[in-house]
Structure formats: structure tokens, C-alpha cells
Amino acid sequence: MLDDATQSVVDEIEKTQLNNSLVKTVGTPNYFASVVDTGHNYIATAVDGVGSKIEHLLKHEMYDTIGKDCFAMCYNDLLCVGANPIGFSDHITSTQQDAHIIPKVISGILDYCGFAFTVLTGGETEILQKTNFHISGSMMGTVSKDRLIDGSRVEHGDVILGLPSSGIHANGWTAINKMMPELITPENLTATKIYAREIMTLMARVAEPCAIVNITGGGFRNLERIPKNLQYELTFDYTPDPFKDLQCEFNHQDLYTQFNMGIGMIVIVKMKDLAMSLDAMKDSRVIGGVVENDRPNVIVHGQDIFFGDADPYVFKEKEVCVEYQLGDN
């Protein structure tokens, strides 16, 4: 539910889109990337940054990781709509004193561009007298009109696959800094993984995955972006470091709504495509299934991860019956 101020902005955007006769938006609102119909094909765009993680990367002089994280946050969002990412642009603000950082940040971006078959198209650099070092990025990609993924094909009986993360990625660092600052180490500040090869191989072999979900801010609640009244029931026994450490301090709700818990990307497929999908994405594993429900909801290990009136860092017990068994169709 959006607050009144945010809803008014959304209404104005929709009004502008309706009045624009040249292009129109398509796909699911509030999904991972924006998609417009130019008449000939679809163009997808994503904009993102690094969040509070940038403070820790600067402290540890991990400048190339800043560029990689910014690139990855945009790139993975584009993958969620089935786009082929083609160009990345950055916007950097810095003081003259910190300007020496910029080439190292760009180096990280270029490393990921090469890995993901994408180009750095340009950007904007502002040198100001007083500012914190900051980066944001935008990425553009193309989507064939018959290959757009917007979650609308997800239904009861579909299978949920998880792809492993490379660590905490770029979300959850504010909470870690507050609750467990001892975990802020170079080993845990690894760059966000990009899922270029896994998703591209999948798209080449499977006609159309039902949904691709980037587990970023909001954790596994990102599944609720899928525009269906469905319940996503997850069970996985894979909890790598440092998430095992987080379990000592954070409750169930916070763990799965703030962190990726070792799963950086989710792919939902039809049961008939399961074997082919697992073969295409070698590191993937089955982590759950989809069942009918009266509202979008996520269950992890038999417990609801969201309660509308819950306070941060306060978990309320709730019994949930999990009826889905993998293999039902």
C-alpha cells in the first residue's frame, strides 16, 4: 500500500504515459525494470545504486567493487523482464580530493561489461567542493515482443529454482552495521554476482520462464511483485557464511526480508521445463513451489515472513500449514 504522496506521483506518471502517443509502457507496474513499446520492439531500462554498502567499500578501498555492484544491480533487474542488456551509463559525484577513486570504479564496471557482453556507453562525472562519493547507474536493454517476462504466466504448481549468491550483495548493510558491524569485512563485501550466463543459457533452451526474481532490497518479498494472488513456499537447507552468523542476531522475518540468505536470483518454471532448466543453470536447485492463495504471500521454512503491523526487528509467531509437495502439478 502506497502512502498518499507516493500514490499521487504514481498517478501523475500514469497520466503522462497515457497522454504520450509515441511510446507506451508495457508489462507489470513496479516490476524490476521499466519496459516501453516503441512500436518495433520493447526497450527495458533499470536504474540503481549501491546503497549504504558504498560507505564500507570506500573505507576498505574496494573501489572496483563499487563499480561492479552498481552495474550488477541494474543488470540483474533487466534480466528479470527477459531483456538483453546492451548499454550501461554511470553518474558519479566526487570531490577533487577523491577523484583518484573514479578510474578504479570505472575499471570495475568495465570488468563486468566484458563478462556480461555489455558496453559502457558513457556517463556523467561531477566534481563538487563538498559531497560524499556517490554512484548511480542506468542500463538499457532490448526485449523481443514475444519474450517479455512479467510474471503473468506464474500459476499454481510451478516450481521455484534458486541460484546462489556470491555473498550479501548490495542490500542489508544498514541493518548489519547496526546489529553486527563485526561482519563488515573485505571477505563479506564481495561484489554482487551477475547472472548473465545462467539466464542467457536458460532463455536459449526454455521457451519462456514464468518469472525471474532478483533477490535485492526486501529480500524474498520481491516474489510479491509478481501480479498474482499466489503463495510462494520456500524450503532450502543451503545457508552459507556469513548468513549463518546473521541467524544469531536477526529473527526469521528480518533474515528473509532484508538478506538474500545465499539465494541471489529466483527463477520460476513449469514442471515440464524443470529438468531442462536445471541442466541449463548448473548451480540452480529446487527451493520451493507455487500454490493458490487469496493474496500474494511468501512462506519460508513454514513461516510467514511478513506481517502488516510488524515492527522492525520484532518477530511475531504465526503457525502456517504447508500443503505443497514438490512434484504436485
Q: How far apart are CA 14 and CA 205, in angstroms?
A: 36
Residue with cell 583518484: 100
Which residues, 6+ apart, have CB-to-CB distance to 6 below 8 Å?
none
Asked if residue 131 belongs to a domain, the reply is: yes
Whether residues 164 and 275 share a domain: the answer is yes
Domain count, the chain: 2
Q: What is the CA radius of gyration of the chain?
A: 20
Whether residues 236 and 136 share a domain: the answer is no
Whether residues 183 and 132 share a domain: the answer is no
CA distances from 55 to 58, 131, 154, 246, 320 (A): 5, 13, 38, 20, 39
pLDDT over threshold 90, residue 322: no
Asked if residue 318 belongs to a domain, the reply is: no
pLDDT over threshold 50, residue 311: no
pLDDT class of 324 with cuts at 50, 70, 90: very low
Whether residues 190 and 139 share a domain: the answer is no
pLDDT over threshold 50, residue 309: no
3-state secondary structure the chain: CCCHHHHHHHHHHHHHHHHCCCCEEECCCCCCCEEEECCCCEEEEEEEECCCHHHHHHHCCCHHHHHHHHHHHHHHHHHCCCCEEEEEEEEEEECCCCHHHHHHHHHHHHHHHHHCCCEEEEEEEEECCCCCCEEEEEEEEEECCCCCCCCCCCCCCCEEEEEECCCCCCCCHHHHHHHCHHHCCCCCCCCCCCCHHHHHHHHHHCCCCCEEEECCCCHHHHHHHCCCCEEEEECCCCCCCCHHHHCCCCCHHHHHHHCCCCEEEEEEECHHHHHHHHHHCCCCEEEEEEEECCCCEEEECCEECCCCCCCCCCCCCCCCCCCCCECEC
Q: Which pLDDT score, from 0 to 100, does residue 209 have? A: 93
Whether residues 55 and 186 share a domain: the answer is no
Q: Which pLDDT score, from 0 to 100, does residue 100 have? A: 96
Q: Which pLDDT score, from 0 to 100, does residue 170 have? A: 96
Whether residues 166 and 292 share a domain: the answer is yes
CATH classification at residue 187:
3.90.650.10
Asked if residue 45 belongs to a domain, the reply is: yes
Whether residues 69 and 121 share a domain: the answer is yes
Q: Phi and psi dihedrals of 157, rounded to 5?
A: 100, -10
Asked if residue 149 belongs to a domain, the reply is: no
Q: Which pLDDT score, from 0 to 100, does residue 77 have? A: 97
Of 98, 119, 143, the residue that ends a domain is 143
pLDDT over threshold 90, residue 132: yes
Whole domain around residue 50: which residue ranges?
A: 22-143
Asked if residue 295 belongs to a domain, the reply is: yes
Q: Which three cell numbers stand for residue 281?
A: 543453470
Q: Which pLDDT score, from 0 to 100, does residue 11 have? A: 67
CA distances from 177 to 33, 109, 217, 236, 309 (A): 29, 26, 16, 26, 25
The tens digit of pLDDT for each residue in 225-271 reads: 998 999 999 998 878 889 999 999 999 999 999 999 999 999 999 99
Q: Which has the higher per-residue pLDDT, 155 or 308?
A: 155
pLDDT over threshold 60, residue 24: yes
Q: Which pLDDT score, from 0 to 100, does residue 17 have? A: 56
Q: Which pLDDT score, from 0 to 100, does residue 2 have? A: 57
Whether residues 193 and 102 share a domain: the answer is no
Asked if residue 327 belongs to a domain, the reply is: no
pLDDT over threshold 90, residue 39: no
CATH classification at residue 42:
3.30.1330.10
Asked if residue 195 belongs to a domain, the reply is: yes
Q: Which has the higher per-residue pLDDT, 316 or 113?
A: 113
Find, among 200, 205, 226, the residue nearest to 272 by Cα. 205
Q: Which pLDDT score, from 0 to 100, does residue 275 have? A: 94
Whether residues 229 and 101 share a domain: the answer is no
Average pLDDT score over residue span 50-68: 97
Whether residues 138 and 164 share a domain: the answer is no
Whether residues 181 and 280 share a domain: the answer is yes
Give strand pairing partners of 119. 87
Find, among 288, 110, 88, 116, the residue nearest to 199 by Cα. 116
Q: Which pLDDT score, from 0 to 100, does residue 206 have? A: 77
Q: Which pLDDT score, from 0 to 100, does residue 317 have? A: 30
Of 82, 112, 143, the residue that ends a domain is 143
Tell me the pairing of strands 297-300 and 230-234: parallel
Q: Which pLDDT score, from 0 to 100, does residue 18 have? A: 54
Whether residues 194 and 299 share a domain: the answer is yes
Asked if residue 7 belongs to a domain, the reply is: no
